[in-house]
Amino acid sequence: MRPGQPRHYLMCRPTYFTVSYEINPWMDRRTPVDTPLAVAQWERLRDAYRDLGHTVETIDPVPGLPDMVYAANGATVVDGLVYSARFTHPERGPEGPAYLKWFADHGYVTHLAEHVNEGEGDLLVAGDVVLAGTGFRTDRAAHAEAAALWGREVVTLELVDPRFYHLDTALTVLRGGSGSAPGTRVPDDGAHPGLTGPPPVDVVYYPPAFSPATQEVLRERYPDALLATEEDAVVLGLNAVSDGAHVVHAPRAERLAAALRERGYETLAVDTSELLRGGGGAKCCTLEIRELAAGSAATSR
């Protein structure tokens, strides 16, 4: 198995997971949720990450916050700097402080967000830049706030289809998701012999989830990107997690998995169907903690 980049993840067990309110088209209060099944699926996802060599930490779930399992929304961490989440819907409001407290308690430098943003649901690191969704949840003003905080370029991407209300339901960063500081040397692993500079970024996205202007931005920035079909997108196939070599994805995203394998990735299907009842998949359940890379430009800060 080709080694991926070891990642550091934060997850939240779905102990109190249920669908008691509806804030996205996937949620339906009338169908009962099988919470033990959700927990079992979540445990398999956590174990899959550990088997890949990644570190998984957990935050204690809070009763009455059923969506807290979607850890990706809890904050965004770049260069060890934590940008707190500020939720659109009051039902999820207390999750922001809960996650922020976890980071403060674990010694991270935290920044309390002024503007509405739903963490990594809408803020995806892609090499040196941060791709930032807007349209349903995260406010554009948060994009500027994040850019100032991390000193990175933030690229605004407009979402237009309510089924894909967070950027991480419409686009997956396949390579470059842990970020890089300008000038970072790429390890000579044979795949990129002698290459210096930020590691190449690779993404897959579903074009119709974005406005025409944003589709143009994506085409220009990532001319070689893989394009997902509606079939893959509607099973939240793009809510996948990649370590640069392995991609953990929804089992029903078969066409996408085949295309990823053809592109050189190893694919790992992990069933998160019960968590889809809240409108999330593997990526939603996973918050990446990106430490400050040793020797990176940011050390001179």
List interacting residues with ligand ARG (CB under 6 A).
23-24, 27, 67, 70, 72-73, 92, 121, 166, 168-169, 278-280, 284
Complex with ligand ARG: residue 100 or 238, whichever CB lies closer: 238
CB of 285 to ligand ARG, least distance (A): 8
Q: What is the rounded CA–CA span in Å between residue 191 and residue 131?
A: 25
Q: Where are the beta strands (DSSP E) in the chain?
A: 8-11, 55-58, 75-78, 81-84, 109-111, 123-126, 129-134, 154-158, 171-175, 202-205, 226-227, 241-242, 246-249, 266-269, 287-288
CB of 273 to ligand ARG, least distance (A): 14
Give me the DSSP letters along 28-61: -TTSPP-HHHHHHHHHHHHHHHHHTT-EEEE---
Q: What does DSSP assign to residue 292? A: P
Long-range contacts of 180-188 (CB under 8 A, 24+ apart): 180/127, 180/128, 180/293, 180/296, 181/79, 181/128, 181/293, 181/296, 181/297, 181/298, 182/128, 182/297, 183/297, 184/293, 184/295, 184/296
CA-nearest of 30, 12, 138 to 84 is: 138
Complex with ligand ARG: residue 121 or 237, whichever CB lies closer: 121
Complex with ligand ARG: residue 67 or 139, whichever CB lies closer: 67
Complex with ligand ARG: residue 172 or 184, whichever CB lies closer: 172
Per annotation, catalytic residue among 54, 246, 249, 284: 284
CB of 88 to ligand ARG, least distance (A): 8
In the chain, the amino acid numbered 152 is: R
CB of 297 to ligand ARG, least distance (A): 29
Complex with ligand ARG: residue 198 or 206, whichever CB lies closer: 206
Per annotation, catalytic residue among 166, 246, 249, 285: 166
CB of 26 to ligand ARG, least distance (A): 7
How are strands ordered across the β-sheet holding 109-111? 75-78, 81-84, 109-111
Q: What is the rounded CA–CA span in Å between residue 101 and residue 112?
A: 11
Complex with ligand ARG: residue 67 or 198, whichever CB lies closer: 67
Q: What is the rounded CA–CA span in Å between residue 160 and residue 150?
A: 27
What are the tokens at 245?
A: 């070599």
Question: Does 284 qualify as catalytic in the annotation?
Answer: yes
CB of 30 to ligand ARG, least distance (A): 16
Residues tagged active-site: 166, 284
